[in-house]
Amino acid sequence: MSYQKIIRPLLFQMDPEQAHVLVHSLLKNYGKILAKVSGGLTYNDTDLSCDLFGHPLSNPIGLAAGFDKNGELTEVLQALGFGFAEIGSVCARATNGNPKPRLFRLPEDEAAINRLGLNGHGADAVAERLGEAHFSLPIGLNIAKTNDPAIAGEAAVADMIYTFNKIRGLPITYVTVNASCPNTKEGIVTEGDQMRLLMQELQKFNSTKIPILIKLSPDSTTEFVESIVDAASTFKIAGFVCGNTTTSRDDLKTNSDRIKEIGMGGLSGAPLKEKAIKLCQRVNAKKKDWQIIIGCGGISTGKDAYDFMTAGASLLEVYTGLIYKGPTLPQDICRELSAILKQKSQDKSTDKSRSKQVAYTQD
Ligand X SMILES: Cc1cc2nc3c(=O)[nH]c(=O)nc-3n(C[C@H](O)[C@H](O)[C@H](O)COP(=O)(O)O)c2cc1C
Query: Among residues 35, 48, 65, 213, which is the contact residue for ligand X, using CB under 6 A?
Result: 65
If we measure between CA atoms, which residue out of 220, 193, 344, 191 comes closest to residue 286? Answer: 220
User: What's the closest the beta carbon of residue 322 comes to ligand X, in angstroms?
Assistant: 8
Residue 116 binds to ligand X (criterion: CB under 6 A): yes
Helix axes 192-205, 154-167, angle to 10 degrees: 30
Dihedral-angle region of residue 265 (phi above 0 means left; psi in -120 to 50 means alpha; beta otherwise): left
Residue 220 binds to ligand X (criterion: CB under 6 A): no
| Backbone torsions φ then ψ of 276, nearest 5 degrees | -65, -35
Binding flags for ligand X, 2-41, as an x/- string (CB under 6 A): ----------------------------------------
Q: How far is CA 271 from CA 267, 284, 332, in A?
A: 8, 21, 20
Residue 321 binds to ligand X (criterion: CB under 6 A): yes
Query: Among residues 58, 78, 173, 268, which is the contact residue for ligand X, using CB under 6 A?
Result: 268
In the complex, residue closest to ligand X by CB: 66
Residue 103 binds to ligand X (criterion: CB under 6 A): yes
| Pairing between β-strand 266-269 and β-strand 111-114 as defined by DSSP bridges | antiparallel
Binding flags for ligand X, 301-320, as an x/- string (CB under 6 A): -----------------xxx
Q: Which is nearer to ligand X, 183 or 291 (CB)?
A: 183
Q: Which of residues 228-257 bind ligand X (CB under 6 A)?
A: 244-245
If we measure between CA atoms, which residue out of 315, 314, 245 comes closest to residue 82? Answer: 315
How long a stretch of residues is the chain?
363
In this structure, which amino acid lies at residue 363? D
Q: How far is CA 115 from CA 90, 301, 345, in A?
A: 16, 26, 42
3-state helix, strand, coil in the chain (%, to 5): 45, 15, 40
User: What's the closest the beta carbon of residue 46 comes to ligand X, in angstroms?
Assistant: 25
Q: Contacts with ligand X: how many residues (CB under 6 A)?
A: 28
Residue 298 binds to ligand X (criterion: CB under 6 A): yes
User: What's the closest the beta carbon of residue 298 comes to ligand X, in angstroms?
Assistant: 5
Q: Which residues bind ligand X (CB under 6 A)?
A: 64-66, 69, 88-89, 103, 112, 114, 116, 118, 142, 178, 181, 215, 244-245, 268-269, 272, 296-299, 318-321
